[in-house]
């Protein structure tokens, strides 16, 4: 860790060391740690366990043997390939849209998409708990940002009513909120968009592969709104077990991002192995429903035991209040054999620090029961 009182630091570095020292003092200092393999991991985003799926690993290995390890360039120079084009066609079919585009990561996708489709004078309405990448994309675009209370449709309607009728309006929201496990109300959002002449960008990063009975394409499918959401983005890095992201929508909007999205234009394309694994994952989530069923069984199990949310979710926030308490519970759970990451401000609002319980199809009923028991005992000891 940095020493903020180290007088040997050059003056132009001391400011940064002091800032890091303040983060340490307020329990907000972040470090890249490796999860002890002896602990049961309940913080991973590998919701369906597909990171270890034999087909994904085989397809990735085949792609390396055939095409090498790198894509050699950006998509607009030399990095496009038949494999990427086929993946985009598969995603468009999966999401039931006219076209799709593969991007390098969820953060890069959201920043690139919003910077491409917005300009100063546009109005953007964001849920207060949206992912940071959505907020950053809007801020970079120069558009007017209006935040509405989390999932508060009345507040959203009031904000929409204040926007000039002739201005371009976008409603931007997560479908599954990554730190809270709550769900957007897609039918209500579509109704509001229709009433106020707005369009919707839905971030399906934590819903793709988990929701949707037929195609497991996300919450928009599960809530019957597949054809009514203007733009849907998602990732291959969570339930789909790999890496990368996608955007699905009309061909005009996809072409807009290709031509205006700086993060897309100026980034090297994803490697062949990553593309191959993503393509296999989109196939698996549609043809092997047993992974999703296993996850939903674990979701129902935790919901029955802990009842933290009003609905079963694969993301369960265990609220503890202050960041220091979250770190304390993180250590106590490690001693009990479990890894649950402590989530602190500024990732979440002040005084809402939590342990983020994240479920996977690979968890057994016995492991989930053991975790719930450990948490219930800790709650009694700490009087939460």
Per-residue model confidence as pLDDT tens digits over 183-242: 999 999 999 999 999 999 999 999 999 999 999 999 999 999 999 999 999 999 999 999
pLDDT of 58 strictly over 80: yes
Q: Beta 245-249 vs 231-235: how paired, if at all?
A: antiparallel
Q: Where are the alpha helices (DSSP H) in 96-234?
A: 106-117, 132-141, 153-162, 186-196, 219-222
pLDDT of 4 strictly over 60: no
Q: What is the pLDDT of residue 332?
A: 95
Residues 6+ away with beta carbon under 8 Å from 217: 94, 95, 96, 204, 208, 226
Per-residue model confidence as pLDDT tens digits over 27-55: 888 889 888 999 999 999 999 999 999 99
pLDDT of 171 strictly over 80: yes
Alpha-carbon distances, residue 123 vs 51, 114, 142, 159, 287 (angstroms): 39, 12, 10, 10, 40
pLDDT band for 1, please (50, 70, 90 cuts). Answer: low
Percent of the residues in the chain that have a pLDDT greater than 90, as a whole number: 88
| CA nearest to 132, candidates 168, 102, 172, 160 | 172
Q: What is the pLDDT of residue 2?
A: 60
Domain boundaries, the chain: 33-50+289-382, 69-287
Class of 33-50+289-382 per CATH? alpha beta
Q: What is the pLDDT of residue 7?
A: 58
Average pLDDT in the 170-177 region? Answer: 98
| 373 Ramachandran zone, left/alpha/beta (phi>0; psi -120 to 50) | alpha
Q: What is the pLDDT of residue 8?
A: 64
pLDDT of 154 strictly over 80: yes
Q: What is the pLDDT of residue 9?
A: 66
* Pick from 42-56, 149-163, 305-319: least confident: 305-319
Per-residue model confidence as pLDDT tens digits over 61-91: 999 999 999 999 999 999 999 999 999 999 9
pLDDT band for 384, please (50, 70, 90 cuts). Answer: low
* Pick from 166-170, 297-301, 343-347, 358-362: least confident: 343-347
pLDDT band for 271, please (50, 70, 90 cuts). Answer: very high
pLDDT of 379 strictly over 90: no
pLDDT band for 343, please (50, 70, 90 cuts). Answer: very high
Dihedral, 175, 180, 181, 184 alpha carbons, nearest 10: -30
pLDDT of 383 strictly over 60: no
Query: What angle separates helix 106-117 from helix 251-260, to the nearest 10 degrees?
Result: 100
Alpha-carbon distances, residue 302 vs 124, 296, 311 (angstroms): 36, 10, 10
Q: How far apart are the first and last CA of the chain?
A: 31
Q: Which CATH number fits domain 69-287: 3.40.640.10, 3.90.1150.10, 1.10.260.40, 3.40.50.300?
A: 3.40.640.10
Cα distance between residue 228 and residue 243, in whole Å: 27
Q: What is the pLDDT of residue 3?
A: 64
Phi, psi (rounded to 5 degrees) for 145 = -100, 125
Phi, psi (rounded to 5 degrees) for 196 = -110, 10
Mean pLDDT of the chain: 95
Per-residue model confidence as pLDDT tens digits over 7-33: 566 778 888 999 999 998 888 888 898
């Amino acid at each position: 860790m940095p020493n903020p009182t180290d007088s040997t630091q050059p003056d132009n570095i001391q400011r940064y060391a002091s800032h890091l020292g303040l983060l340490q003092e307020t329990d907000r200092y972040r470090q890249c740690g490796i999860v002890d393999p002896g602990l049961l991991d309940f913080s991973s985003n590998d919701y369906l366990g597909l990171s270890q799926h034999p087909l994904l690993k085989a397809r990735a290995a085949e792609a390396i043997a055939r095409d090498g390890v790198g894509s050699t360039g950006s998509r607009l120079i030399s990095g496009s390939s038949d494999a990427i084009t086929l993946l985009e066609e598969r995603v468009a079919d999966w999401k039931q849209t006219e076209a799709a585009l593969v991007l390098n990561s969820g953060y890069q996708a959201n920043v690139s998409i919003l910077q491409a489709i917005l300009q100063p004078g546009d109005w953007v309405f964001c849920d207060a708990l949206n992912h940071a990448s959505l907020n950053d994309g809007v801020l970079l675009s120069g558009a007017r940002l209006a935040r509405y209370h989390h999932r508060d449709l009345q507040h959203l309607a009031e904000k929409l009513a204040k926007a000039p009728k002739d201005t371009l309006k976008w409603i931007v929201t997560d479908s599954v909120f990554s730190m809270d496990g709550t769900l957007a109300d897609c039918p209500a959002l579509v109704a509001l968009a229709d009433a106020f002449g707005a369009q919707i960008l839905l971030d399906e990063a934590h819903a793709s592969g988990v929701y949707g009975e037929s195609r497991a394409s996300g919450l928009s499918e599960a809530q019957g709104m597949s054809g009514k959401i203007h733009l849907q983005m998602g990732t291959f890095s969570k339930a789909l077990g790999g890496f990368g992201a996608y955007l699905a929508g009309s061909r005009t909007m996809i072409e807009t991002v290709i031509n205006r999205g700086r993060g897309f234009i100026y980034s090297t394309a994803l490697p062949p192995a990553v593309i191959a694994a993503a393509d296999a994952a989109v196939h698996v989530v549609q043809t092997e429903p047993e992974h999703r069923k296993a996850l939903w069984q674990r979701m129902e199990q935790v919901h029955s035991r802990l009842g933290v949310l009003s609905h079963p979710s694969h993301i369960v926030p265990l609220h503890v209040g202050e960041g220091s308490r979250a770190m304390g519970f993180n250590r106590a759970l490690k001693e009990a054999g479990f890894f649950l990451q402590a989530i602190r401000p500024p990732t979440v609002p002040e005084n809402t620090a939590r342990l983020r319980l994240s479920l996977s199809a690979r968890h057994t009923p016995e492991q989930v029961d053991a975790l719930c028991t450990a948490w219930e005992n800790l709650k009694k000891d700490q009087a939460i």
